[in-house]
Amino acid sequence: MARNKEALVLLLDVGPSMHGVLQEVKNICSTLVHKKLVYNRSDEVGIVLFGTKETCNELAKELGGYKHVTVAHDIKVVDEGTSQALQNLPAGSVPGDFLDAIVVGLDMVIRKFGNTKGKRRLCLITSAQYPLRDPPEGTKEDQVDTIADQMKRHDIKMECIVFREPGVHHNSVMEENDRLLYQFRNRSVAKVVQVDSPTSLLGALKTRNVLPVTVFRGDLEVSPNFKIKVWVYKKTAEEKFPTLKKYSDKAPPSDKFASHEVKVDYEYKSVVEPDKVVPPDQRIKGYLYGPQVVPISSAEWEAVKFKPEKGVKLLGFTDRSSISRHHFMKDVCLFIPEPGNTKATLAVSAVARAMHQMNKVAIVRCVWRQGQGNVALGVLTPNISSVNNVQDSFYFNVLPFAEDIREFQFRSLSSLPSSSQPTEEQQEAADNLVKMLDLAPPGREVLKPEFTPNPMLERFYSYLDLKAKQPDANVPPLERCLRRITEPDPDVIDQQTPLIQNLGKAFELKENPKKNKARTQERLAYVDAGDQAKSEAETSAEKDGVLEALYPPSENAGQIRDLNPVQDFEAMLAKRSSSTWVQKAIEEMQKYTAALLENSREGDNYQKALECFAALRKACIIEQEPEEFNQFLTKTYERLKGNAANFFQLLSSKNISLISKQEAPDSDVTEEMARSFYLKQEAASQ
């Protein structure tokens, strides 16, 4: 087998106790197959069902026994047949024996691969609620040891997922089954996970294997004379969507070796000479510094780069309480002692346990690789192992620098008038709502992070498989289990309906009329419904202060004049004597700017027109009127591009283009469209 190729056998319990979650079992296994089709197309998968009325496996034919175990899909490279076999899971009518299923799955792997090396894995999903048959010789514990010895000999690992709903009463049979499964774990051949909800079942199976790659291998420098050899791995990382690529259908259908790859070439042309291509040796990067562009060559850029030495240095220790949880940034890493290094293991364990006893954390300076352009400042938190054969380690989180921290000043609730303060009844109703929706009630945790799958990814892979079979298929509705992740639990809502009704009765509910446009200034101003007369004065003063901060006042607040057109425009916006005043100010500025360009001689009005364009663009973003500016710029360009080409080149150099969606949500222009506006207009005119 290839180094990264995996052979997996799914051992699925379809007996009566699993009927309620068969759909979730199909979903989780289908997602696993879908991901293998995307990331690991050479992996092989087999499917064994137990609890079926029929019996169909090689061991039953050759040796007898192993009843109610059916091989639904032989070990083959993943394809549509694998996915189809999972969609046709039958509902079994007899209790299943998971030890028989494990033996059948183990036999399939050994028959297929023999003693060849490679990654082999069994995955068992069962409720483990029914008694197992007695072996012909010895005890069940002896049988488990025999199976574990075979798994070790052939380097086969197993993943056991035990599903039991919260209401199921534990009896002696379940305790015995659990003991047997944990015996596999104690023999270091299996991992056992217990879940109690269909949603947790979806996240219990590892649907994609990620190879462990070290971020850093080197010394944890406590002092120049004391260094500990450590390896650093990523503990958590955001799972991204598969990269979408562009493919071309221009290749002939008969060409089986066509890659359908789309190649993109870029050409840089001079603004002065549009027909001339600028070669790489004549191009240079630059930074905007005020109104000018400062060119910086690659040699200069390399000279000013910070080039620290690779390494991790301990800066000191601090109380755990002094590091806020919300300061943690980026992904979590795991510091472990160098494998096989006894001294490093003892040193890491001693430091970690001392930190744990003293409730301390360590601050470290990290440079993961030589030539890295930045330094990470982070905190090491001790991770004391509770398992004998697992070493102590550290969790690492990146801490922010002063520039990375955002300080937001929000208005205090105590500053509101007494009529807007909650009453005791209202506060109690709100407290009850929080208690009702607690995701971690005593004795049980709902939506455990380690067992909660990403609903967007789950739905994406499901839809990708559907589109592969039906290219014209529409997006299906959200499935029940994924809905439980994205929406409140309907069972909890139904049980606590009186509490929700009390919350509605405690507060006066009014219909919120929909406004045409939510102005920035209106969103910033606060209106107190309980004290109308007082609030009108406060709101007026507050609104005036906001407007004065955005638009400085001017003596000419009714028209735009030649002396200070930008200040006159901003004064008109601040005046707002009627609901149409903002629209009037924008129209006046558009007329004035257009007149400047039409009456310009040899560009004498270009600088003033540039300032007017910049002020108009800023105001349209603040006032959420992007279409007004975009239409004005487009029409002006179409009308004057022949006579004022230099002016539009000036606008382009100052990045004054269309207002994009990123700047104003009401805009229909994408960032790419705004960036390439002048280029596309020039191409269309040629």
Q: What is the pLDDT of residue 684?
A: 56
- Count how many Cα atoms sit within 13 Å of the Cα of residue 277 in the half-sphere of its side chain: 5
Q: What is the pLDDT of residue 458?
A: 87
Distance CA 681, CA 139 (A): 83
Tell me the pLDDT band of 544, cut-offs 50, 70 and 90: very low
Q: What is the mean pLDDT of residues 363-376?
A: 90
- Count how many Cα atoms sit within 13 Å of the Cα of residue 504 in the half-sphere of its side chain: 6
Q: What is the pLDDT of residue 576?
A: 65
pLDDT in tens, 477-507: 888 878 888 887 777 778 788 888 888 888 8
Contact 348, 337 (CB under 8 A): yes
Burial state string for 60-72 with b = 16 or more CB within 10 A and e = fewer than 16: beeeeebbbbbbb
Q: What is the pLDDT of residue 447?
A: 79
Distance CA 317, CA 291 (A): 46
pLDDT at 266 over 70: yes
Q: What is the mean pLDDT of residues 364-383?
A: 92
Distance CA 608, CA 649 (A): 15
Most confident of the ranges 53-57, 385-389, 436-440, 502-506: 53-57
pLDDT at 548 over 50: no
pLDDT at 521 over 80: no
pLDDT in tens, 401-427: 999 998 887 777 777 777 778 888 888
Q: Percent of the chain scored above 90 by pLDDT?
A: 31
Distance CA 624, CA 561 (A): 25
Q: What is the mean pLDDT of residues 443-455?
A: 82
pLDDT at 533 over 50: no
Tell me the pLDDT band of 543, cut-offs 50, 70 and 90: very low
Q: What is the mean pLDDT of residues 377-404?
A: 92
Distance CA 141, CA 192 (A): 17
pLDDT in tens, 167-183: 777 888 999 999 999 99
Backbone phi, then psi, for 423, in 5-degree steps? Answer: -80, 170
Q: What is the pLDDT of residue 546?
A: 42
Neighbours of 621 (CB within 10 A): 17
Query: HEC profile for 535-587?
Result: HHHHHHHHHHHHHHHHCCCCCCCCCCCCCCHHHHHHHHHHHCCCCCHHHHHHH
Enter the tokens of residue 405. 């921290």
pLDDT in tens, 108-144: 999 988 888 888 999 999 999 988 988 888 888 999 9
pLDDT at 71 over 60: yes
pLDDT in tens, 554-572: 444 567 888 888 888 888 8
Tell me the pLDDT band of 534, cut-offs 50, 70 and 90: very low
Among 283-287, 311-315, 369-373, 414-418, whose mean pLDDT is lowest?
414-418
pLDDT at 681 over 90: no
Among 23-27, 237-241, 387-391, 443-447, whose mean pLDDT is lowest?
443-447
Across the chain, what does the average pLDDT equal? 84
Nearest to 458 by CA among 26, 21, 28, 20: 28
pLDDT at 552 over 50: no
Enter the tokens of residue 238. 């955001």
pLDDT at 663 over 80: yes
H or E stretch covering 463: helix 455-469
Most confident of the ranges 223-232, 471-480, 652-661: 223-232
- Which residues lie below 8 Å from residue 262, measured CB to CB, with a gap of 6+? 245, 246, 247, 248
Task: Compute the radius of gyration of the chain from its Cα atoms.
Answer: 34
DSSP letter for each residue of 233-302: EES--PPPPPPP--B---S-TT-TT---BPP-----B-SSSTTSBPPGGG--EEEEETTEEEEE-HHHHH
Q: What is the pTM of this model?
A: 0.65
Angle (nearest 5°) at CA 331 between 327 and 337: 105
Q: What is the pLDDT of residue 685?
A: 57
Q: What is the mean pLDDT of residues 672-681?
A: 77
Q: Percent of the chain scored above 70 by pLDDT?
A: 91
